[in-house]
Amino acid sequence: MTLAKKITTAAALAAALLAGTAPKAAAQCPYTVGPLGRYIAPAIVQGMTATDDGAVEVWCSDALDGDDWYFLADAETDLRIYDRVDLVVDANGTPEDFSDDKVIDALYCHGCTED
């Protein structure tokens, strides 16, 4: 089994960034929302910006449909630009409306090998 690392998003700041952080509702989303109201979206980290309060805003591009996702990570994250990540996305109670979805976690691994 490989060692997976996870980023815990800063919920308070993420709430301020929710507007415009999910793919557009008009676009057909390639994901099926599971019974817990979440889905996994593979993505690639495109950019990272430090915030004034010590967090890091991460910008990812969806690997399947190219939509942009933004979330906050702790300043101590070892996530890097061009890392492949699996975003855990909350459908926010509206599985048919992807415009209000938000990233609640990101899973990734450095130095993982196929066993």
The 10s digit of each residue's pLDDT in 52-103 is 999 999 999 998 888 899 999 999 999 999 999 999 999 999 888 888 999 9
Task: State the total domains in the chain.
Answer: 1
Query: What is the rounded end-to-end Cα distance, in angstroms, of the chain?
Result: 7
Residue 9 located in a structural domain? no
Residue 103 located in a structural domain? yes
Residue 64 located in a structural domain? yes
Number of other CB atoms surrounding residue 9 within 10 Å: 21
Half-sphere exposure at residue 39, Cβ-oriented, CA atoms within 13 angstroms: 19
Residue 98 located in a structural domain? yes
Which residues span the domain enclosing 103? 41-108
Residue 95 located in a structural domain? yes
Residue 11 located in a structural domain? no
pLDDT of residue 39: 95
DSSP codes, 18-84:
-TT-S--TTSPPS----TTSEEEEEEEEEEEEE-TTSEEEEEEEETTT--EEEEEEETT----TT-E
Residue 109 contacts residue 4 (beta carbons within 8 Å): yes
pLDDT of residue 29: 63
Pairwise CA distance, residues 56 & 27, whole Å: 28
Mean pLDDT for all residues in the chain: 79
